[in-house]
A and B are shown apart, each in its own frame.
Chain A
């Protein structure tokens, strides 16, 4: 029998994954460059332009930070839920719910920013939590699969946003389409157009990492995710923990919506979630279950998104950009899989044994 030279291991060391991911990214960049060159674009000029408008300039960095902010929070939302073994596919809907709740406060209440902003923040978090409440209770008490329930609620949240922004809350001042009027308050800016939501999101992600590894609650969540039966055996109230984790997850996604509406867009708009909720799943997968890894994963995702926008300004259609995004993520997935393989260190001679 022909001896294959590689063996698949059940777990892969982190360093090897990192290296293979870098290789995957570089490889996909070459493939993209090749295809672009064949179709008459200059990859070098394009690369230069992308670099200049992302990492290579102040404005680029500001844009990156703005993209990262919601991705950090939705990525953390999915990661936290994953720790107890559940998938929150509904960050998109919770994002809208948070944005709607915050907008409702901003449009309905009057007062100084230092009063309104905290109320909007709380409203955003509660909005996200409210949106995941039904899936949470269904999961905890009836064992209903959370993947489907959270997903379906996304469509409702999205449609609700369209309804509000074209109906009761439509912009009656400047007549902007599918949008509310500009909110009277905004999260203050910290650095250029980057608002304070960005550092807060980073702090939240770090704090979550600490909570998961350094608190009793976090310990119970980890046990519950690794083996629910052992958790029950240890007297951990698994049902309560599921409820708290899912609500926290929804709250994080809702906060992302509040930051987006009050810090970046300044209006509630139809379609404003921009797939940040779904991309949160991608971020969480890239982060491989570790909260701290959410930060570099969100950065990578933000880079891809930002580059995509630059390419669109260069007459590349949105679907080409989407295909490129898909290619990079696909190559990373292959890299992750390859990281499990190890060359067989055997020097077995073939043939008749003595």
Chain B
């Protein structure tokens, strides 16, 4: 077959670390992969791109032995291999870091690193494991605190532990499925530095990402999947983001200013639907996660919330949807004081919520697609009448949502976790938009979506705005925020730094605010 010449920098005659030949993987009603050929050479970072449901995660699960391919072969260092489990794959030097971390939350970092590891000492005291972990962490240049409990770590720190787990097992090929989706920009920078160091030792990386700028920055070559088939492999140096995007979706993606309202759109309502007045939240450990936040939500307006993740956005969404009780301050819905945090109350008031962590908080992964789609509307006709649950009506609803979300589902009775990450996200978004008659709180709704789907998602938000719904749009992507928001608030250390008109805002100002600088020093033309 297509015998490839060794790329520059690799000793002649060296075989690729990984070769895939004609891989095919089928699920009932879905061709997840078909005829996929892929070469990954030592010393390269190979990006894998594709729309939601294109088959990226499935392909990598095939490589790491989670799935068995129906067709094709996997060749490692020139030898055919069959893996029946991820353990076998890691023994052969292939390690994967999944988007949903698989760490034991209650264990320490050192315990997690040693869990299920052949080379872990048979009798290991915490001190021994921590010393080993420290040594490994220094060797690979991933700083971790060996004695910290995983549940106390940030997403970025947890990811470092996952990577170390893999590297400690002598991986030569590291596969990362959307690693940057949950990272702050600084954490992403650190990750990329580490990946480059790993590459410099003659190892290889496969990275899946929807963020084209990152792909341009980090990768040597890019392979693009569409509908389960590989479209091609390109040298990153010959690519640019728009060309990648067009190749990925098979058409051009137009980005337009979506702040302009069409004819007949609902105007911004003068009276706020929801108000926060000096709301603060203190967590169990006595840390103030939300400090003295006041804001008004008006129908027909999109309020963007910018800020580095972890600065109180989670708490803000939870307070706005009744999932978290405030420690002090007031919340008003339609001018009425909300006495207690009760999600049911907010649902009834027409508040939709696309949460940050869909899989954990908005879906029951083991239940069917239909059951999950009914989660918001089961108490109301046609699904719920006289205390009954009409499974057939729920099926109709699920069909409607899937159609609007442009997700094809072969079998509505299968567990929703079988859908691709992005498709789950699209379904949750559509489900929430349906019930958001007054307010939609969308936390990172574009996370995990492909570039075409992001444009569609932003379109959903502006549609809601035009119908007179108040939208809270939390994002890290300033471009997206500026594209659709009417006003933009910036969060820093639990404080809402300031809310500025999107018209007058520019990236630099917002960037300064995100770093905790006061509005007064940044506002152009501010006196004193």
What is A's interface to B at a CB cutoff of 8 Å?
Answer: 1, 3-4, 6-8, 11, 213-219, 222-223, 226-227, 229-230, 232-237, 344-346, 348-354
Q: Which residues of A contact B74 (CB under 8 A)?
A: 348
The complex places the Cα of A4 from the Cα of B388 at a distance, in Å, of: 49
B374 interface residue (CB < 8 Å to A): yes
A216 near B343: Cβ-Cβ < 8 Å: no
Q: How many residues of B sit at the interface, in one of the four size bands?
A: 35 or more
A-B contact pairs, 10 of them (CB 8 A): A214-B388, A215-B389, A216-B379, A218-B389, A219-B374, A223-B375, A233-B323, A344-B84, A351-B80, A353-B19
The reply on B152 being an interface residue by CB < 8 A is: no
B84: which A residues are within 8 A, CB to CB? Answer: 3-4, 6-7, 344
Which of A234, A344, A349 sits near B376, CB closer than 8 Å?
A234
User: Is there an interface contact between B367 and A349, defined as CB atoms closer than 8 Å?
Assistant: no
The interface residues of chain B lying within 8 Å CB-to-CB of A237 are 344
Asked if B371 contacts A216 (CB within 8 A), the reply is no
Question: Is A219 touching B363 in the complex (CB atoms < 8 A)?
Answer: no
Q: Is B347 a contact partner of A217 (Cβ separation < 8 A)? A: no
Point out the residue from A219, A233, A348 that lies within 8 Å of B389, measured CB to CB. Answer: A219
On chain A, the residues within 8 Å of B75 by CB distance are 353
- The reply to whether B378 and A233 form a contact with Cβ atoms under 8 Å apart is no
Interface segment out of the listed B65-73, B233-241, B295-303: B65-73
Contacts of A345 in B (CB 8 A): 68, 70
Q: Which residues of B contact A (CB under 8 A)?
A: 1, 3, 15, 19, 21, 68-70, 73-75, 78-82, 84-85, 88, 91-92, 322-323, 342-348, 353, 355, 360-367, 371, 374-376, 378-379, 384, 387-391, 415
Cα of A42 to Cα of B451 in the assembled complex, Å = 74
Q: Are A216 and B384 in contact (CB under 8 A)?
A: yes
The answer to whether B69 touches A346 (Cβ under 8 A) is: yes
B residues near A230, Cβ cutoff 8 Å? 360-364, 375
Chain B residue, CB-CB nearest to A233: B361
A349 to chain B: closest residue by CB:
B80
On chain B, the residues within 8 Å of A354 by CB distance are 1, 3
Q: Point out the residue from A216, A227, A236, A350 that lies within 8 Å of B80, measured CB to CB.
A: A350
Residues in B whose Cβ lies below 8 Å from that of A222: 364, 367, 371
**Do residues B68 and A234 form an inter-chain contact, with CB atoms below 8 A?**
no
Which residue of B has the minimal Cβ distance to A219? B389
A213, A233, A349, A352: the one within 8 Å of B391 (CB): A213
**Of residues B15, B91, B366, B415, which shows the largest number of chain A Cβ atoms within 10 Å of its Cβ?**
B366
- What is the bound-complex CA distance between A8 and B85, given in angstroms? 8
Query: B371 near A235 (CB under 8 angstroms)?
Result: no
State how many angstroms separate the Cβ of A70 from the closest Cβ of chain B.
30
Q: How far is the CA of A1 from the CA of B89 in the complex (A)?
A: 10
Q: How far is the CA of A235 from the CA of B346 in the complex (A)?
A: 8
Take A6-B84, A354-B1 as given contacts and tell me if A233 and B343 are in contact as well, using a CB distance cutoff of 8 Å: yes
Contacts of B415 in A (CB 8 A): 11
Nearest opposing residue in chain B for A4, CB measure:
B84
A7-B85, A230-B375, A344-B84 given; A353·B78 CB < 8 A: yes
Nearest-CB residue, chain A, relative to B353: A233
Q: Contacts of A229 on B, CB cut-off 8 Å?
A: 360-361
Instruction: Contact check, B362 vs A216: say whether CB atoms are below 8 A apart.
Output: no
B80 CB to nearest chain A CB (Å):
5
Whole-angstrom distance between the alpha carbons of A350 and B78 in the complex? 10
Instruction: For residue A207, give the distance in angstroms from its CB to the closest CB of chain B.
Output: 13
| Complex CA–CA separation, A229 to B363 (angstroms) | 9
B79 neighbours in A (Cβ, 8 Å): 350-353
- How far is A1 from B83 in the complex, measured between Cα atoms in Å? 9
CB-based nearest B residue for A350: B80
Cβ contacts under 8 Å, B379 to chain A: 216
- Min distance, Cβ B2 to any Cβ of chain A, angstroms: 10
The residue on B at minimum CB distance from A229 is: B361
B389 touches A234 (CB 8 A): no
Q: In whole angstroms, how far apart are the Cα atoms of A229 and B359 in the complex?
A: 10
Taking A1-B88, A351-B79 as given, write out 4 further A-B residue pairs in contact, using a Cβ cutoff of 8 Å, ordered by the A residue number: A227-B364, A233-B343, A234-B347, A235-B343
* B residues less than 8 Å from A3 (CB atoms): 81-82, 84
The answer on a CB contact under 8 Å between A348 and B323 is no
Q: Tell me which residues across on chain A come within 8 A of B345, comparing CB atoms.
A: 235
- Select from chain B the residue with minimum beta-carbon distance to A225: B364
User: Is the Cβ of A352 less than 8 Å from the Cβ of B78?
Assistant: yes
| B345 and chain A: residue at smallest CB distance | A235
Q: Tell me which of A8, A214, A227, A351 contacts B363 (CB under 8 A).
A: A227
Q: Which 7 A-B pairs have the closest CB atoms?
A: A235-B344, A226-B364, A3-B82, A227-B364, A235-B343, A353-B75, A219-B389
| Contact, CB under 8 Å: A216 / B375 | no
Q: Which of A6, A213, A233 touches B362 (beta carbons < 8 Å)? A: A233
Residues on the B chain within 8 Å of A1, using CB: 81, 88, 91-92
Alpha-carbon distance between A214 and B374 when the two chains are bound, in angstroms = 13
Complexed CA–CA distance, A43 and B330 (Å): 78
Q: When chains A and B are docked, how far (Å) is the Cα of A4 from the Cα of B361?
A: 37
Asked if A226 contacts B343 (CB within 8 A), the reply is no
